[in-house]
Structure 1
Amino acid sequence: MQRIPPFLLLLCLSLLLWACGSEAEPKSRKPSEPALPQARYLESDDAASAQDDEELLPKAMPAAESEATESEAPKSEAAEKKHVRSWKRSQILPHQSRLKVGDKEELPQEALQVKVRIDGFRARVLLDGYYRNDRKQQFEGTFQLRLPTGATPWYLAFGKVELERKLPVLIGDVLYSPEEARKMGMLPEDVLRDRFKSFKHPKQARLLPRRKAAYAYDETVRQRVDPALMEWSGAGVFSTRVFPLEPGQLHRIVFGYDVDLSKLGSDWLYRLDLPAGKMRRSVDIELSKVPGQKVTLSTGEDPQEAEGRLYWNLSDPETRTIEVRISGPQNLALCSIDPKTGPYLAARFTPEFEAKESDLRQEEALFLLDTSLSSGPNAFPIQRKLLQAILETNADRIARFNVLFFDVGARWWMSSWAKNDAATRKALLAHTDGLSLEGATDLEAALRQAAQPSFLPASAKSSYPVFLLSDGAATWGEKAGHKLSQILKSSERVSALFAYRSGMSGTDLGMLTRLTRESGGALFAVTSEDQLAKAARAHRTAPWQLQAVECDACSDLMLAGSPTVIYPGQALTLVGRGHPKDGAEVVLKLRRGSAEQVVRCKLNARIDSELASRVYGEVATRGLEDYSWALQAEAEVYASYFRVAGPSCSLLMLESEAEYQRFGIQPQEHSYFVKKQPASQLLAQARAKLAGRLRDAKAEFQAMLTGLAKAPGLNFELAKSVQLLIDELPVESFYIASKPLTPKLLTWKDISGKLSEQLASRKLDYDNVSAEAKRRFDLAGAADAIRALSSLIENRPGDLVLLRDVAYSTEAWGRGDKAYHLLRTLAEKRPYEPVNWLGLARCLRSMQAEELALLYYEICLAGTWHERFGEFRKIATMEYLHLLRKLSKEGKRSRVLDYAKNRQESLGREFKLDRADLLVVIEWNTGNSDIDLHVWEPGGEHCYYEHPRTKIGGRLTRDVTQGYGPEMYVLPQAQHGVYQIKAHYFARRRNRASARSKVLVTIYEDWGGKYEKLTRKTIKLEENKQIHEVARVQIDK
């Protein structure tokens, strides 16, 4: 049988939802804890959990120009009239809705109802998914979803379907009719009211500041009750849990989000993809009728019309893709009135002005081509065509070029500039055909290479544009937009960065917008192959500097993405307060060199829509989040008021009002602040006050400490002496740099056949990926192993269990510098978990950033951590003392040497151990799991939680029973013989069908002595109550 080439497999896309965590019976020796009322938590961080490509929910096609300052290449009249088609998508894309109850187990979906409201350029989508637990056991369910690019959730509810007259509940009894659908509202307060007949006791999520929501979630989970949390994981990726899924019962998940329509030529397009599988499907679409518009539905049905709106109902449609295409008036304005905060405007328009080719001539260009897992199966062929088109179309300007292929690593195609001729381009395309698409996305590594290419001598005077061919979703390395953009701004070589978006899901519009804006480049929309040639030349057009924007009768005006330059054909989203008159104009004041221009854009249609205020809220919140460490509180207020789930706020669902009160979560009235503090003023004040400081690593570190002092579930106070030390340290002490990864196995032929098929379909099996990573580690080293294993992160970037899992393996392979940012993400999301800060200190130490490592150890000791973390302080003190003694012993000139000597003396009195023949520490990646450290000494004595002290002096720290550890065994004076180190696994999550944990083991022989030896390794635990051997240590005396 002939094997299908992996490249062809990339044409197939499917998204496999995953389940995180495992629960099993608690140890019989320990009394069960009283269960608190159930809770559910829906998180959303810059982190949901799965970036799988079989989406949980159907999705609208992402907008080609939503929320970013994108440009379309100028179009000819003939092109405008041509019926433009979007990029061809995989024909077997299932968009399956899956509710997971284990690593591989799932519950069937019986029906999906979709209600869509389209107002101008915006759509609001509300989905009712019905799932039946056909098992005899109660479960906790997990599903993850990647929303359309630019989409933002605004609603989540979950509960059991209940009918008074009939049991069991059949799906036909609960689906609402077209007449009922037409009457249903699309505001949060409407959802439960409209579903009351069959949804009597649902739980409705609240939008809360991210850290507060996460803390309430974790504390509820710790009580062996499963809440629901939806967290953002970047690029529209979200994850959530639901509980309880009662045996034999039908359950309903209601989920709502907003998304911009895409633009194809001069038409607006809304696309909805329905999941595959045997289930009932019903779709109701309504649309605001605008004079002069022509609306067509891809299925051919004619709409019903009532009160200025068009309605369609599709019951069990045969097609899985439904498109609404709208032609007619452009430059649309949405208007609404919030009774508490006033009127709002949201407009989408394209200014028209003459295109002039730039006089700037640069003969060299760099291309950054994304080869991470997320580039397959559909994005990479588009990026490859863009690369080819740009080189061919601009052969008269680009004489020499080079291409950087990047994922977790970054490598240049050529060791010098390549000539831009037909033969070279042919060789390049042939080379790309064989490249494997795997691993996470390290955007930082790519941008650093663009700013200072390793193939160029430092003295070279080259200046060039950079073309970024990527979705911009950073899942590895540094992820903060202001830090990444600074790499470009500080480079004397990069003249501008240009990026492109094709309408594929998973694109981080915010990141692409920021990078292009702050480098003086642009983000171009390329939503069809017909636009390739024009898009390939679009960067040649000379841009205009944006000086001001005005609109009569409106204030607090902001453009989405805060563009500083405008290109011809660039679509813009304007929001503000107030209502423009019919026929009002948006006025743009532009400058290019000494030339000035005023461009007027008439708003051709005004639509009264409740969506306008939320578009304003999204733009305002995203702007405030750009200054997150300085405007975090303001961003949280705006996100909460306008229900914008994302980096600032998450959706949390607890069991009862009493549960919210237990965590101090009270309804907040933010309307006064929103009304009196316009977002544009807050942003202007922040820019003026913080000019230059946003890239100050020391100021950011101090802001982090301020945030820790306010973090829920944590008492944190840094000693005055540490504060003084921070003040004395220079800014450079707070910058970190890691060495690049240089994997060698880069083609499909280097990958085992089974895994290559999984990578192509993105149905990754944890065990297969782990086995491949181990194989590559043995064959080629850490870089290749990390590239393989990091695919798990790329596929599920918000899965905190996986983040810790991969971080542990990366650290054990000797690349703590690459584990650092994974642990930093964990610390930002869960600041009240001390093991995150301890891991960061270890990583910094491995990077020789000893001054900063010292401060992170001080963070470990400055917090009063929950008692469930056992003797964390003792273990942190042991590690810290190890560093302090090293610094003092080496006696190198250091800015912290005096502090280190004084601190060593004080901590030495607390941890009275100078050396130990054997010291073992374990920690693990799954919360609410109990993993016990066991050591069998040569004489047969067994040191464990019930016998923590042995005759020869072995000591074991307190048993940690609720997740992460750490636990430590110390033996100052060992006897001759073999010491058997084992781990005993007790999973505590009983509402999962399957799960696994990973343990990071640190073994010191002759700790603190002349012949000290350090070993780090990881072991995978799967079977509950099973004892796993970790290591055997031979000590000779």
Structure 2
Amino acid sequence: MSIFHIMKFCPLPRGFALLAVFLLILTPIARAQIALNPTDPKAERVLIRSADISTEITGRFAVTTFDLVFANPNGRDLEGTFEFPLLDGQRVVRFALDINGALREAVPVEKEKGRVVFEEIERRQVDPGLLEQTAGNNYRARIFPIPANGTRRIVIAYQEDLMTASTAANKAPRYRLALNFPNELRTFNLTASVFAAPGAKPAQASTSLALKLPAWSDGHVLQVKKENFTARGVLDLKLPAISTSARPAVITETFNGREYFYAEAALPATALKANARPEPKCVGILWDASGSGRDRNHKREFALLDAWFAAVRNVEVKLVCLRNTAAAPITFKVRRGKWSELRAALEKTIYDGATSFDGLIDDASVDEWLLFSDGVVNFGTTQNLEKLPLRAPVHAVNASAKAAPAFLRRLAAQGGGEFADLMALDAKTATSRLRRISPRVLAVERDPEAVAQIFPEVGAPVNTENGTFVVTGILRQQSATVRVKIGSNENDAQAIEVAINSGENTGSLAARAWATTKINHLAAAPGDNREDIRRTSREFRIVTPDTSLIVLETLADYIRYDIEPPAELRDEWLKQRRATDAATNKNRKQQIDRIVTMLHERVQWWEKEFPKDKPIKRPPETKPIHPASEVVILGGSERQNTVRQEQSRRRERPAAAPRANDADGEIVAIERFMVSDARQAADLDRSGFEDGRRVDKPATGSFIALQRWSPSASYLDRLRRAPEAERFSIYLEERADHAREPGFYLDVAEYFFDEAKHTPTALQILSNLAELGLEDAALLRVLGHRLVQAGRPDLALPVFERVLKIRGEEPQSRRDLALVCAKLEQYQRTADLLWEIVSRKWDDRFPEIEMIALGELNAIVATHAGKLDLSKIDARLLKNMPVGLRVILTWDADNSDIDLWVDDPSGDRAMYSRPLTYQGGRMSRDFTGGYGPEEFLVRTPKAGKYTVRINYYGDSRQTALGPVTAQVRLITDFGTASEKEKLITVRLVDKKEELEIGSIVIGE
């Protein structure tokens, strides 16, 4: 089946707009057109000029390779992003791009590093390519550029286990390749090579493509070449049945100095007669009712339930819907297989919120559980659970192309249940699987000096439906024997004996078959096996959740980023790499020394006594603190430097800019302000507002007033008018028109938090942000910050853990996680994360963020003395400098320019061009291309009112994913035990000069 389903291109002016290309896997039943539709209606359609598709099949394994040439008729370069899910048993094993007219193979790299390198190189306008796995078994390839009026060649290959993907329970594997190209191809080549045991009959080929298939060449090669051909149809190969002879079929391969073997053996007849499960008296159904649940194939799920209830007949059912938290169970009675009442309830399911196992509790009356889910758990405190908290066996059922089958299989195996993939099994076959107890691997007997690393390992379930059993391993001697015992227990155990001889039936699939089998096995518990999975995936160039494939243009780039290149560049890379090692060690020391120097300058400021009288009036400044001549040295591409120079030029104006709300009395650029005290409940007392402001009076003799604004949105007007019982229904109505808008969920969740006073509903609606993008760090950051506001740092913690995994190359990811850990009193981890920020060299887009993190690190150390291990921290950097007032601004969008301004009681303004005020207020370095933070500090604040403003210049993002969301923290007595904090979240739409968001009054 094809990995190409839907593609979309848009023109990319050099350094500006983002091209998106989306590819989806075709199901075994249906196929969809490969459409290349530009998002810009004025752009010409990007075409596929040629397609060379090849398939190599050995036994039950197949590798399919797509070699495509894209033609860009537009006068602008394009960037491409391919997104495609693969089915269970399929893995990407090759990625290559043409570089200067020659095909260059991708090399493995850790996922975080791959993303960092790709985006850095892309900013320099050269030719990187990156293929990575997102959530579940979903993949994304990013390519830049597809040249203006030119072509780009792309090669992607995936490997699959045909027996796993088989749609019928028989011993004959079947291979299907679905094609649906939208335009006529200049050249089309299709080759299928099937390697079978000696004497086996050739595969039977049929097709719905508009061509006549030739006879098999040499009995195992089928080749078609066409010109000016439109490829729309399916190639179907019925392969020779797996031999049931006593001797297992074995293939071998030597790879990187090791010899690997792959063996297929017929299962003993007794093993095929799996033990039937006792009929349950009570069954629990865990129904994933999250937003992504709408995309599951409910027709197949209901067909399975039809067959399953027909088999068990009379049973009590307890239905538990899973969203961001588990709902209370609902009981149904099924008699004589009739389940119409339960079906009606499932058909009325409201799919909303994220996917989580939070709140799931056991029920002693349940004999079996059926879990219907895609397995992509994206919310809650139980995302990394090893086993569901249920006593009875758990069967996992998948009916989604965008799923995490390895996770579902693990849950089933560890819960004593079965896994049924309805994307590959019909209802009858799936029911048969769920109603029996699969045998397990009980023992593996071998000479460890002759063979090593054999899979499957002891305890692995054995799929008996296709009648075969696979054993893989590493051969160390000329010959060896492996004896595998399978069964439900020692009493019914049966042995399979495999004899392996060096050089037997050599081919090109044994090594990779071993590697994928190992990775699939280890993926059952990825936390414990992550490093082993990474090592294996890097060696065999297999994409996993932690390993990507990358193509770089020049040897210098492979050296600069310490990535081992393809074979043709490796010798020179090794030679030049030795010279860089010494420089790397020197740079680490220089980083710490640089921070020590900066800290010394900070101490001088902190120890200085500043006057608190009225400042002398100064003429307005016209020169920015970072003039254009200095901006260029910040790094980045020519495109980014141009943007920064333009920003600097725009700032060459009087510092006392007119206020945006002075002219018309309103701030139209703010969609929403959300207020929360991290130490108090989410509900707010309306009696605390004075003149439209929320007033809180801490015990320290100061109070904070925060502006509160509501967006102008018709859906909020409807909610406010509606009776309480109808509000959620109105939200669902409006969701149909705003389903992909993050701001919609933020607005409505905030309404249920603050106005409707219904926190459970607000949390469910807010959790939809986790469903909008599998790996959208910006959305997840917004979600995490809002959960903190709601007083749920426990829910925010796994969100920021995910952001760190996605965007580990950005210091903000560690800082966000560190601050949440502090709220959860995980102070050691807080300190460790902050020290990572201080001690590493970051991209120039994040100027002096180390100093902000260092201040927060010293505050943690000072307030938790004696409880922390500080052995990793350079003692020269341990100095707490508490301040009476601290204001911090951060935002969620990269390449955005937002400024923090603070006006003190004397009218003196701290800003990017005036970083030090008369009374000693200090503003941090200006961020013009990152996420912040920008920080204002004053050690001993003068009594009076401090007004906090945001100056939003806009952004140069390549994608416009919606309004920028900014967070402002207002802190008094920072670095002391009496610290107080308020958090404001602001969504910005229009580019305005100045936005007042709140104030702090110091003194009674």
Same fold (TM over 0.5): yes
Partner-residue secondary structure (3-state), 2:173:
strand
Query: Quick one: distance in 1 between partners of 2:304 and 2:789?
Result: 39
Offset from partner CA, 1:181-234 (integer Å, 9 cap, x none): xxxxxxxxxxxxxxxxxx715554322233443443354456676743322213
Does 2:349 align with 1:383? no
Does 2:870 align with 1:913? no
- The verdict on how the C-alpha distance between 1:215 and 1:294 changes in structure 2, with shifts beyond 3 A counting, is closer
Q: How does 1:643-662 map to 2 (within 5 A)?
A: 643-662=541-560
Q: How does 1:124-273 map to 2 (within 5 A)?
A: 124-159=63-98, 200-201=101-102, 204-220=105-121, 227-261=128-162, 262-265=165-168, 266=170, 267-273=172-178
Does 2:774 align with 1:797? yes
Does 2:925 align with 1:958? yes
Gaps of 5+ in 1: 1-12, 27-39, 41-48, 62-85, 161-198, 670-708, 718-738, 889-895
* 1:715 and 1:865 in contact (8 A); partners too: no
**What's the offset of the Cα at 1:1020?**
4.1
Partner-residue secondary structure (3-state), 2:819:
helix
Q: How does 1:633-712 map to 2 (within 5 A)?
A: 634-667=532-565
**What's the offset of the Cα at 1:117?**
0.8
Letter in 2 for 1:306: S
* 2:955 alignment partner in structure 1: 987
**Out of 473, 494, 509, which is 1:576 matched to?**
473
Letter in 2 for 1:548: A
**Out of 342, 361, 372, which is 1:428 matched to?**
342
- The verdict on how the C-alpha distance between 1:428 and 1:792 changes in structure 2, with shifts beyond 3 A counting, is same
Partner-residue secondary structure (3-state), 2:402:
coil
Offset from partner CA, 1:779-818 (integer Å, 9 cap, x none): 5756545544554543531333443344344444443322
- The verdict on how the C-alpha distance between 1:204 and 1:811 changes in structure 2, with shifts beyond 3 A counting, is farther
**What's the offset of the Cα at 1:752?**
4.7
**Out of 378, 394, 397, which is 1:475 matched to?**
378
Query: Quick one: distance in 2 between partners of 1:622 and 1:112?
Result: 34
Work out the number of aligned pairs and report it.
828
Q: How does 1:106-117 map to 2 (within 5 A)?
A: 108-111=46-49, 113-117=51-55
Offset from partner CA, 1:264-303 (integer Å, 9 cap, x none): 2224333334456445384614131642355232417433
**What's the offset of the Cα at 1:876?**
3.1
* 1:805 and 1:998 in contact (8 A); partners too: no
- The verdict on how the C-alpha distance between 1:466 and 1:141 changes in structure 2, with shifts beyond 3 A counting, is same
Partner-residue secondary structure (3-state), 1:823:
helix
**What's the offset of the Cα at 1:610?**
1.7
Does 2:261 align with 1:345? yes
Does 2:930 align with 1:1016? no
* 2:282 alignment partner in structure 1: 364
* 1:405 alignment partner in structure 2: 321
- The verdict on how the C-alpha distance between 1:534 and 1:512 changes in structure 2, with shifts beyond 3 A counting, is same
Partner-residue secondary structure (3-state), 2:932:
coil
| Most deviating of 960-969 and 544-553 | 544-553
Does 2:826 align with 1:820? no
**What's the offset of the Cα at 1:575?**
1.9
Offset from partner CA, 1:916-959 (integer Å, 9 cap, x none): 2xx32122334454433233556554422111122344321122
Query: Quick one: distance in 2 between partners of 1:226 and 1:997?
Result: 30
* 2:193 alignment partner in structure 1: 287
* 2:516 alignment partner in structure 1: 618
Q: How does 1:213-612 map to 2 (within 5 A)?
A: 213-220=114-121, 227-261=128-162, 262-265=165-168, 266=170, 267-274=172-179, 277-278=182-183, 280=185, 282=188, 284-288=190-194, 290=196, 291-292=200-201, 294-299=203-208, 301-308=212-219, 309-312=221-224, 320-330=232-242, 333=249, 335-338=251-254, 340-347=256-263, 351=267, 352-353=269-270, 354-355=272-273, 357-358=275-276, 362-396=280-314, 399-414=315-330, 417-421=331-335, 425-442=339-356, 444-445=357-358, 449=360, 452-453=361-362, 461-462=364-365, 464-477=367-380, 483-485=384-386, 487-488=387-388, 491=389, 493-502=390-399, 504-527=400-423, 531-549=426-444, 555-556=451-452, 558-559=454-455, 563-566=459-462, 568-569=464-465, 572-577=469-474, 588-600=484-496, 609-612=507-510
* 2:828 and 2:869 in contact (8 A); partners too: no
Query: Quick one: distance in 2 between partners of 1:224 and 1:931?
Result: 26
* 2:332 and 2:341 in contact (8 A); partners too: no
Letter in 2 for 1:307: D
Query: Quick one: distance in 1 between partners of 2:34 and 2:728?
Result: 26
**Out of 768, 779, 784, which is 1:807 matched to?**
784
Query: Quick one: distance in 2 between partners of 1:829 and 1:802?
Result: 12
* 2:284 and 2:366 in contact (8 A); partners too: no
**What's the offset of the Cα at 1:156?**
2.6
TM-score, normalising length: structure 2: 0.70
TM-score, normalising length: structure 1: 0.68
Question: Percent identity among equivalent residues?
Answer: 19
* 1:280 and 1:316 in contact (8 A); partners too: yes
- The verdict on how the C-alpha distance between 1:133 and 1:1019 changes in structure 2, with shifts beyond 3 A counting, is farther
* 1:402 and 1:412 in contact (8 A); partners too: no
* 1:100 and 1:106 in contact (8 A); partners too: no
* 1:22 and 1:987 in contact (8 A); partners too: no
**What's the offset of the Cα at 1:607?**
7.3
Partner-residue secondary structure (3-state), 1:661:
helix
**What's the offset of the Cα at 1:563?**
4.8
Query: Quick one: distance in 2 between partners of 1:23 and 1:996?
Result: 22
**What's the offset of the Cα at 1:428?**
2.4
Partner-residue secondary structure (3-state), 1:264:
coil
Offset from partner CA, 1:526-582 (integer Å, 9 cap, x none): 4577x4245335334244342235799983463458753436426644323459999
**What's the offset of the Cα at 1:258?**
1.9
* 1:29 alignment partner in structure 2: none
- The verdict on how the C-alpha distance between 1:365 and 1:848 changes in structure 2, with shifts beyond 3 A counting, is farther
Alpha-carbon RMSD = 5.0
Partner-residue secondary structure (3-state), 2:511:
helix
* 1:5 alignment partner in structure 2: none
Letter in 1 for 2:819: R
- The verdict on how the C-alpha distance between 1:857 and 1:58 changes in structure 2, with shifts beyond 3 A counting, is closer
Letter in 2 for 1:205: A
* 2:600 alignment partner in structure 1: none
Letter in 2 for 1:915: G
* 1:176 alignment partner in structure 2: none
Query: Quick one: distance in 2 between partners of 1:349 and 1:745?
Result: 62
Q: Could you say which structure has the greater relative contact order, defined with CA pairs below 8 angstroms and 6 or more residues apart?
A: 1
Partner-residue secondary structure (3-state), 1:484:
coil
Query: Quick one: distance in 1 between partners of 2:858 and 2:758?
Result: 31
| Most deviating of 377-386 and 656-665 | 377-386
Gaps of 5+ in 2: 568-584, 594-680, 682-723
**What's the offset of the Cα at 1:100?**
7.6
Partner-residue secondary structure (3-state), 1:910:
coil
Does 2:910 align with 1:943? yes
- The verdict on how the C-alpha distance between 1:855 and 1:658 changes in structure 2, with shifts beyond 3 A counting, is closer
**What's the offset of the Cα at 1:380?**
3.3
Query: Quick one: distance in 1 between partners of 2:13 and 2:972?
Result: 37
